[in-house]
């Protein structure tokens, strides 16, 4: 029987599915550090990860490893040059999380615009003595301009929801989306600079790559309107968190909603000390149904890539389909 590592606690019934095909080493404890992950991968044919860093050195130390299935749409935790060089297949879990993530993006954006976290902390702190006409005045969503940076599947799901709020939609992306999608979403392609200058609510939904490290830093924040909000649903590192904390503290922008952070789960402490921010612990896809769908899709990928199950040899979501794959040990 081939051996697989499940690097994280996941739904037990998904583990049972994998046990039908493989000898499973399931880490139900703390997140594995680099050394422990290297050791646990060393004798495996496949692995299921969830944001765990997988380096070229780990692949080199695991000669049987043929596939790593990430339970996430983003896979910046994988050294893809290393995967390609070692002919190890990587897979991800796109699409099944689009709608839940877009829902959450709206929740975060609206919470930031309407100062919900700040107001709740104040209320819980026992400060509410009387109603005030000017208490927690925020920014409107309806009728305002949404700016989506990263018009992939999640960006499109997010933009689609803007119709009900009668918003103008601007977007920026590496490439323009098809005219039919622009028309359906009533979305207008603009430069990143124009978007930052014109949008009332900027939402980031682009994948992390070294090229877009700190794509939103002090210079970009300076382009935004003083009453605008910024929401990061994408990945830590796309925003310069220190620059953002500074911009919020000095009210250069009105508010921010962050679900992802540089160096998470550690946070830049400056973010914790500004009031006009909503902070959530990387939970945009976290509904029961969606996380189940992601776990099952990651398992489907692993099973198929290791030549088992009804789709043997045809994993649904290869990230680097060009790799021919390591020979089966
Ligand atoms: C979550 O961040 C994901 O990439 O799925």
Q: What is the mean pLDDT of each run of 10 residues along the chain (329 residues)?
A: 98 98 98 98 98 98 98 98 97 98 98 98 97 96 98 98 98 98 98 98 97 97 98 98 98 98 97 97 98 98 98 97 74
Q: Whose CA is nearest to atom 3 of ligand 1?
A: 72
CA of 274 to the centre of ligand 1 (A): 26
Q: Whose CA is nearest to atom 5 of ligand 1?
A: 72
CA of 88 to the centre of ligand 1 (A): 21
Tokens representing 157?
Answer: 């799901």
CA of 74 to the centre of ligand 1 (A): 5
By most ligand atoms within 8 Å of CB, the mutation choice from 284, 292, 295, 301 for ligand 1 is 284
CA atoms of 262 and 268, how far apart (whole Å): 8
- Residue 90, strand partner residues: 68
Distance of CA 64 to the CA centre of its chain: 30
Which alpha helices (H) appear in the chain, and where do they start and end? 12-19, 34-41, 56-60, 80-86, 98-113, 116-124, 153-160, 179-185, 192-198, 218-223, 241-249, 269-272, 288-305
Lining residues, ligand 1, CB within 6 Å: 72-74, 97, 285
Which of 64, 87, 282, 292 is catalytic? The answer is: 282
Atom of ligand 1 nearest to the CA of 75: 4
Instruction: Give the residue among 198, 151, 205 at the shortest CA–CA distance from 176.
Output: 151
Q: What is the DSSP string of 118-175?
A: HHHHHHHTT--SS--TTTT-----TTSEEEEE--SHHHHHHHHGGGGGT-EEEEE-SS
CA atoms of 5 and 142, how far apart (whole Å): 47
Which of 19, 252, 264, 292 is catalytic? The answer is: 264
Residue 38 Cα distances to 8, 65, 83, 245, angstroms? 14, 11, 15, 36
Question: Is residue 30 annotated as a catalytic residue, yes or no?
Answer: no
CA of 123 to the centre of ligand 1 (A): 32
By most ligand atoms within 8 Å of CB, the mutation choice from 50, 52, 70, 73 for ligand 1 is 73
Which of 235, 262, 291, 308 is catalytic? The answer is: 235
CA of 329 to the centre of ligand 1 (A): 31
Residue 286's CB: how many other CB atoms inside 10 A? Answer: 16
98-279: CATH architecture = 3-Layer(aba) Sandwich (3.40)
Question: Is residue 220 annotated as a catalytic residue, yes or no?
Answer: no
Atom of ligand 1 nearest to the CA of 282: 2
Atom of ligand 1 nearest to the CA of 72: 5
CA atoms of 124 and 116, how far apart (whole Å): 12
CA atoms of 244 and 249, how far apart (whole Å): 8
Q: What is the pLDDT of residue 327?
A: 62
CATH of 3-95+288-305 given 3.40.640.10, 3.40.980.10, 2.40.50.140, 3.40.50.720: 3.40.50.720
CA atoms of 113 and 121, how far apart (whole Å): 16
CA of 250 to the centre of ligand 1 (A): 31
CA of 266 to the centre of ligand 1 (A): 17
All CATH 3.40.50.720 domain ranges of the chain, comma separated, are 3-95+288-305, 98-279
Q: Whose CA is nearest to atom 1 of ligand 1?
A: 72
Q: What is the pLDDT of residue 25?
A: 98
Question: Is residue 16 annotated as a catalytic residue, yes or no?
Answer: no
Q: Whose CA is nearest to atom 4 of ligand 1?
A: 74
């Amino acid at each position: 029987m081939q051996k697989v590592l499940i690097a994280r606690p996941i739904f037990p019934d998904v583990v049972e599915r994998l046990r039908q095909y493989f000898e499973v080493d399931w880490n139900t404890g703390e997140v594995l550090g680099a050394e422990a992950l290297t050791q646990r991968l060393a004798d495996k044919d496949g692995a299921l990860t969830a944001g765990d860093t997988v380096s070229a050195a780990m692949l080199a130390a695991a000669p049987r490893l043929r596939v790593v299935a990430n339970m996430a749409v983003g896979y910046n935790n994988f050294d893809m040059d290393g995967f390609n060089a070692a002919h190890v297949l990587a897979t991800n879990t796109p699409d099944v999380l689009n709608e839940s993530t877009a829902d959450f993006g709206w929740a975060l954006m609206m919470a930031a615009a309407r100062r919900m976290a700040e107001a709740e902390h104040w209320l819980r702190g026992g400060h509410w003595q009387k109603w005030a006409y000017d208490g927690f005045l925020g920014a409107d969503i309806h009728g305002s301009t949404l700016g989506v940076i990263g018009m992939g599947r999640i960006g499109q799901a997010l933009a689609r929801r803007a119709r009900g709020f009668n918003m103008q939609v601007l977007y920026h992306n590496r490439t323009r989306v098809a005219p039919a999608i622009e028309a359906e979403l009533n979305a207008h392609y603009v430069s990143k600079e124009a978007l930052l200058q014109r949008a009332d609510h900027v939402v980031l939904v682009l994948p992390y790559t070294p090229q877009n490290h700190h794509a939103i830093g002090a210079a970009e924040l300076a382009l935004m309107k003083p009453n605008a909000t910024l929401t990061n649903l994408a990945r830590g590192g796309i925003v310069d968190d220190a620059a953002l904390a500074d911009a919020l503290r000095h009210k250069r922008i009105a508010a921010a909603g962050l679900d992802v952070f540089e160096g998470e789960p550690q946070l830049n402490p400056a973010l914790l000390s500004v009031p006009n921010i909503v902070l959530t612990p990387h939970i945009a896809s976290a509904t029961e149904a969606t996380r189940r769908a992601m776990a099952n899709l990651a398992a489907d990928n692993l099973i198929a890539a290791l030549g088992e199950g009804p789709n043997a040899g045809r994993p649904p979501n290869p990230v680097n389909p060009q790799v021919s794959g390591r020979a089966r040990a």
